[in-house]
């Protein structure tokens, strides 16, 4: 009868005794931390291999003075924009030794609670905030944490960030309608769900008004409507614009989802697109091509990808090569925007 010996369960104390060194030396040698000679490090690793000793990832991270965890804080996980951003972040961190903790703060109270409990979040080495509006008090709490903070899809003071130029996106969308000969151009802008103001709506509105002013066109307040972000906001905004005595011939939507709602209203009202009214969105949502929507593409997944890589670079090297990254946007011409119809 053959007797198979069960492997002996070893811990770091056992390994230290066999190597004739302290537990701290074993920890530093196995984790790659400094303070151990190469000869001692090699000796301990050879002994660990002979004994089939596996280093606990948590123990190794603790020896390096880090948790090996990155917290990603997002207002939503299901919505296309945030899901695409999260996909990029996870891809950017893939292949590193960093684990991702996900915090969804969909409601106002959830966001406040997260920042109130920040001291309990100290088990992370970095925070990635996804297009999250932050109050001054919440920013101070972040600064007191003493961890790396990166904003993906926006800016946060001097903290590292990855974003697009929302003013330029608004300019590109509006300029397409001006080039097509439209002179009565409206904008369906968006408002967020929280008391804190998002930066993107005001930035895209600046791009919109700047192009009109440069073209010598009137910026008519009646042609700028503000509705809740999403397709339903687009439905309401377009309905209001159609009710005007002199409706616009071109409409810039804050986002593609707002544009989808606007297009639904126009279709149900029997308004021909783009022959009577042209519509331009911003995003290049994955359904934009199905709607044949002319839009300004922003690289959402790539923003997340760069943010993930930026966090890893900072944690590995300290100061990154580029702490503030602005990715370009691009006009995508499809079928919802065309020249002004001739009478």
302-316 average pLDDT score: 95
Domain encompassing residue 130: 69-164+300-327
Tell me, yes or no, whether 341 lies in a domain.
no
332: in domain: no
In a domain, 340, yes or no: no
Could you tell me whether strands 294-297 and 330-332 are parallel, antiparallel, or unpaired per DSSP bridges?
Answer: antiparallel
pLDDT at 22: 81
pLDDT of residue 279: 98
pLDDT above 50 for 3: no
Report the alpha-carbon distance of residue 38 to residue 29 in Å, rounded: 9
Q: What is the CATH classification number for the domain harbouring 293? A: 3.40.50.2300
The pLDDT tens digits for 121-177 are 557 889 999 998 888 888 888 887 778 999 999 999 899 999 999 999 999 999 999
Residue 318 lies in a domain: yes
- Kindly state whether residue 333 falls inside one of the protein's structural domains: no
Q: Is 215 exposed, middle or buried (0-12, 13-18, 19+ CB in 10 A)?
A: middle
pLDDT value of position 214: 98
Q: How confident is the model at residue 10 (pLDDT cuts 50, 70, 90)?
A: low
Q: Are residues 77 and 122 in the same domain?
A: yes
| pTM (two decimals) | 0.79
pLDDT digits (tens, 9 = 90+) for 80-134: 999 999 999 999 999 888 889 999 988 888 887 887 776 555 578 899 999 988 8
Structure tokens at 145: 């944490």
- Residue 101's H or E segment, with its range, is strand 99-104
The answer on 188 and 120 residing in a single domain is no
Same-domain check for residues 127 and 244: no
Rounded to whole angstroms, the Cα distance separating 97 from 12 reads 21
Place of tokens 């917290």: 71
Query: Is 48 found in the same domain as 31?
Result: yes
Query: The CATH number of the domain where 20 resides is what?
Result: 1.10.260.40
If DSSP codes are grouped into helix, strand and coil, which group holds residue 90? Answer: helix
| Residue range 33-86, pLDDT digits in tens | 677 888 888 887 888 776 656 555 554 444 445 668 899 999 999 899 999 999
Q: Are 287 and 222 in contact, with CB atoms under 8 Å apart?
A: no
Omega of the bond leading into 274 within 30 degrees of 0 (cis): yes
User: What pLDDT sits at residue 112?
Assistant: 79
| H or E stretch at 89 | helix 80-93
- Helix, strand and coil content of the chain, in percent to the nearest 5, comes to 45, 15, 40
Please check whether residues 159 and 186 belong to one and the same domain. Answer: no
Residues 290 and 171 grouped into a single domain = yes
Residue 338 inside a domain? The answer is no
| 230 in the same domain as 172 | yes
- pLDDT confidence of residue 1: 37
DSSP string for 312-333: HHHHHHSS-S-SEEEE--EEE-
User: 131: closest CA among 67, 203, 237, 189?
Assistant: 203
Q: Are residues 304 and 160 in the same domain?
A: yes
Q: What is the pLDDT of residue 195?
A: 73
The reply to whether 126 and 180 lie within a common domain is no
Q: Which residue has the tokens 């190794």?
A: 60
Residue 179 lies in a domain: yes
Nearest partner of 75 among 100, 107, 101, judged by Cα: 107
Question: Quick one: average pLDDT of 253-276?
Answer: 97
The answer to whether residues 115 and 52 belong to one domain is: no
Can you give the pLDDT at residue 301? Answer: 97
Total domain count, the chain? 3
Provide the pLDDT for residue 221: 95
pLDDT at residue 231 in the model: 94
Candidates 221, 231, 223, 211; CA nearest to 169 is 211
Residue 183, class by beta-carbon neighbours within 10 Å (0-12 exposed, 13-18 middle, 19+ buried)?
middle
Do 209 and 178 form a contact (C-beta atoms < 8 A)? no
Same structural domain, 190 and 143: no
pLDDT tens-place string over residues 191-238: 876 677 889 999 999 999 999 999 999 999 999 999 988 899 999 999
Residues 94 and 18 in one domain: no
- Find where tokens 């070893």 sit: 10
> Would residue 2 count as lying in a domain?
no
């Amino acid at each position: 009868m053959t007797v198979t010996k069960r492997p002996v369960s070893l811990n770091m104390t056992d390994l230290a005794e066999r190597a004739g060194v302290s537990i701290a030396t074993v920890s530093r040698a196995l984790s790659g931390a400094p303070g151990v000679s190469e000869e001692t490090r090699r000796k301990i690793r050879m002994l660990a291999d002979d004994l089939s000793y596996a280093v606990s990832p948590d123990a190794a991270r603790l020896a390096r003075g880090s948790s090996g965890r990155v917290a990603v804080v997002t207002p939503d996980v299901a919505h296309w924009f945030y899901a695409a951003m999260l996909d990029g972040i996870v891809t950017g961190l893939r292949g590193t030794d960093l684990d991702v903790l996900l915090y969804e703060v969909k409601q106002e109270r959830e966001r406040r609670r997260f920042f109130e409990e920040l001291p309990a979040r100290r088990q992370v080495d970095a925070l990635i905030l996804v297009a999250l509006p932050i109050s001054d008090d919440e920013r101070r709490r972040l600064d007191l944490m003493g961890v790396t903070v990166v904003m993906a899809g926006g800016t946060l003071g001097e903290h590292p960030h990855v974003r697009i130029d929302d003013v330029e996106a608004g300019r590109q969308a509006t300029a397409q309608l001006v080039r097509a000969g439209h002179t009565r151009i409206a904008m369906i802008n968006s408002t967020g769900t929280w008391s804190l103001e998002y930066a993107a709506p005001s930035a895209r509105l600046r791009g919109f008004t700047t192009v009109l002013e440069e073209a010598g066109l009137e910026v008519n307040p009646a042609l700028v409507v503000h509705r809740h972000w999403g397709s339903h906001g687009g439905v309401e905004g377009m309905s209001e614009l159609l009710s005007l005595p002199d409706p616009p011939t071109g409409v810039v939507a804050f986002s593609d989802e707002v544009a989808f709602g606007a297009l639904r209203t126009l279709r149900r009202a029997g308004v021909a697109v783009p022959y009577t009214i042209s519509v331009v969105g911003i995003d290049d949502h994955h359904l934009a091509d199905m709607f044949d929507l002319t839009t300004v593409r922003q690289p959402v997944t790539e923003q997340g990808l760069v943010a993930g890589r930026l966090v890893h670079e900072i944690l590995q090297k300290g100061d990154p090569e580029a702490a503030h990254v602005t990715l370009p946007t691009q006009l995508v011409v499809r079928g919802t925007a065309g020249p002004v119809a001739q009478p």
